Amino acid sequence: MSRILIIDDERLIRHALRDILEYEKHEVAEAEDGVAGLKSAMEGKFDAVFCDVKMPGKDGVEVVEALTLKGIETPVIIMTGHASVELAVEALKAGAYDFIEKPLDLNRVLVALRNATDREALRKETVVLRQRQGRKGGVDMIGSSPALEEIRSIMAKVAPTDARVLITGENGTGKEVVARKIHAMSGRQGGPFVEVNCAAIPSELIESELFGHEKGAFTSAVKQRKGRFEQAQGGTLFLDEIGDMALPAQAKMLRALQERVIQRVGGDKNIKVDVRVLAATNKDLQKEIAEGRFREDLFHRINVIPIHVPRLSERSGDVPELVEHFLGGVADELGVAPPKFSKDALQALSKAPWTGNIRELRNVVERLVILCGDEVTGEDVKRHVSGV
């Protein structure tokens, strides 16, 4: 059973949707307009929100934007009888999870709800895991290998400054952990840490996402919107997978770094920004430059301090510490006592290729906890871990 909030100024729509959801054994609350709905969504703990887009006081897009700015990540499903691609894009850009049309279709409602609540459950699990990973004083890097000690030494020197850092390494090596640790060690730790996955945002939306837009800048720009640069004011902006950023956005990014000013899409006003930029990529940017996909001048701007995070196979001595670190959290999640890993099990794990790096190791620890008994042996590792 999930707790669902319905925000709609039409009483018949609210009651019809409530009947559907309560028949499916969900707990339902109602709000008759955007202002009341926003208050309820901020004060209550809901698993999903159904929100009309056309309402007095605050419309659905404004409700979503307000929740996003407050850091409330409850998935919002926008409902509208004024369906259009432009409005759908605007709602999704504002942070909505899904978009359905009126009159409501029973199957579409239930599918959207199931997908939204599944995502919310996964997000909550991720938050718990990150909290457990950071239980020894926030974000941390596990291991004592020479490679990791070298990274720590560089971070200790660069964190108190505002120098830009380019973090490179394969997927799953922990580039985001490095970025968060730099932020946590810096004088900006009290400010926001805003992450942008450049690979996950369509090229036509990346400029609006980063720099915001003015009302009327394009068809669906029905109101002014602040971008990630302004959201990160006084803190850190982490550009993950910057190698996938579209070239037009790269040009604007270069100006923002050079002059510390931005312009919203469709605007001509210079907005000063006080933001530290950290970037990460799994690509060879020198190769991307040679092939015309990345600006060389931007590369030199972001690459003031390079930090390369090595593959796990290059720091295999850290595997036992990482196993111990993951073991407690995995056992807690599964509700079992943590098994003992024998010496030969740890040796076997240390010799594995780890093509998926730390992310893969964590999954393997979970697999072994589920499949093995009170003790994980070397034979268990050979049986259940490929490449060993």
Average the pLDDT over each of 71-85, 249-263, 355-369 and give the range with the smallest value. Answer: 71-85
* Domain identity same for 79 and 215: no
* Domain identity same for 145 and 257: yes
Closest CA to 302 of 330, 328, 276, 334: 276
> Is pLDDT at 387 greater than 80 in this prediction?
no
Distance CA 11, CA 34 (A): 14
* Domain identity same for 316 and 295: no
* Domain identity same for 146 and 291: yes
Average the pLDDT over each of 18-27, 175-184, 201-210, 285-294 and give the range with the smallest value. Answer: 201-210
Q: Residue 300 sits in a domain of what CATH number?
A: 3.40.50.300
* Domain identity same for 274 and 146: yes
Distances (CA, A) of 145 to 141, 177, 312, 383: 11, 16, 11, 28
Secondary element (H or E) of residue 51: strand 48-52
The mean pLDDT of the chain is 88
> Is pLDDT at 319 greater than 60 in this prediction?
yes
Mean pLDDT of 321-347: 91
* Domain identity same for 333 and 222: no
Q: How confident is the model at residue 128 (pLDDT cuts 50, 70, 90)?
A: low
Query: What tens digit of pLDDT does each residue of 147-171 get?
Result: 999 999 999 999 999 999 999 999 9
Range of the domain at 354: 312-384
Q: Are 8 and 79 in contact (CB under 8 A)?
A: yes
Q: How confident is the model at residue 386 (pLDDT cuts 50, 70, 90)?
A: confident
Number of separate domains in the chain: 3
Q: How confident is the model at residue 68 (pLDDT cuts 50, 70, 90)?
A: confident
Q: Which residues lie below 8 Å from residue 32, measured CB to CB, with a gap of 6+?
A: 8, 9, 11, 14
Q: How confident is the model at residue 133 (pLDDT cuts 50, 70, 90)?
A: very low
Angle at 124 between CA 121 and CA 126, to 5 degrees: 110
* Domain identity same for 155 and 223: yes
pTM of the model: 0.64
CA dihedral for 196, 247, 200, 290, sign (positive or negative):
negative
145 vs 102, more confident: 145
- Among 73-82, 259-268, 292-301, the range of highest mean pLDDT: 292-301
Secondary element (H or E) of residue 363: helix 357-371
Mean pLDDT of 35-47: 91
* Domain identity same for 39 and 184: no
Supply the pLDDT for residue 219.
Answer: 66
Q: Is 375 exposed, middle or buried (0-12, 13-18, 19+ CB in 10 A)?
A: exposed
Final residue belonging to a domain, choices 251, 285, 308: 308
Angle at 381 between CA 375 and CA 383, to 5 degrees: 115
Distance CA 127, CA 134 (A): 10
> Is pLDDT at 313 greater than 50 in this prediction?
yes
Q: Residue 101 sits in a domain of what CATH number?
A: 3.40.50.2300
Distance CA 15, CA 269 (A): 46
Structure tokens at 282: 């799994």
Supply the pLDDT for residue 83.
Answer: 60
* Domain identity same for 285 and 358: no
DSSP state of 225: B
Secondary element (H or E) of residue 10: none
Final residue belonging to a domain, choices 308, 333, 349: 308
Crossing angle of helices 175-185 and 146-158, in 10° steps, is 40
